[in-house]
Amino acid sequence: MDDRTLREIYLPAFEAAVKEAKAYSIMGAYNKFRGEYLCESDYMLNQILRNEWDFQGVVVSDWAAVHSTAKSLKNGLDIEMGTPKPFNQYFLADPLIAAVRAGEITESEIDIHVKRILRALFQVKAMGDTASRVKGSIATEAHYKDAYNIAAESIVLLKTKIMPCRYK
The DSSP-derived string for 21-44 is S--SEEEEPSSEETTEEGGG-III
pLDDT at 138: 77
Helices (H) and strands (E) in the chain, counts: 6, 4
Decide if 158 is inside a domain: no
14, 26 contact by CB (below 8 A): yes
Question: In whole angstroms, what is the distance from residue 164 CA to residue 20 CA?
Answer: 36
Decide if 137 is inside a domain: no
Decide if 160 is inside a domain: no
Which of the two residues, 132 and 35, has the higher pLDDT score? 35
Residue 62: pLDDT over 60: yes
Query: What CATH number should be reported for the domain holding residue 51?
Result: 3.20.20.300
* Cβ burial 39-63 (10 Å sphere, 16+ → b, else e): bbbebbbbebbbeebebebbbbbee
Decide if 141 is inside a domain: no
Structurally, how many domains does the chain consist of? 1
Cα separation of the two ends of the chain = 46
| Greatest alpha-carbon span in the chain | 77
Provide the whole-model pTM. Answer: 0.77
Decide if 64 is inside a domain: yes
Decide if 26 is inside a domain: yes
Say how many CA atoms lie within 13 Å of 120 toward its Cβ.
18
pLDDT digit string, tens, across residues 66-125: 999 999 999 999 999 987 889 999 999 999 999 999 999 999 999 999 999 999 999 888
At 153, is the pLDDT very low, low, confident or very high (cuts 50, 70, 90)?
confident
Residue 166: pLDDT over 90: no
In terms of residue numbers, what domain contains 118? 3-132
Decide if 111 is inside a domain: yes
Active site amino acids: 62
Decide if 57 is inside a domain: yes
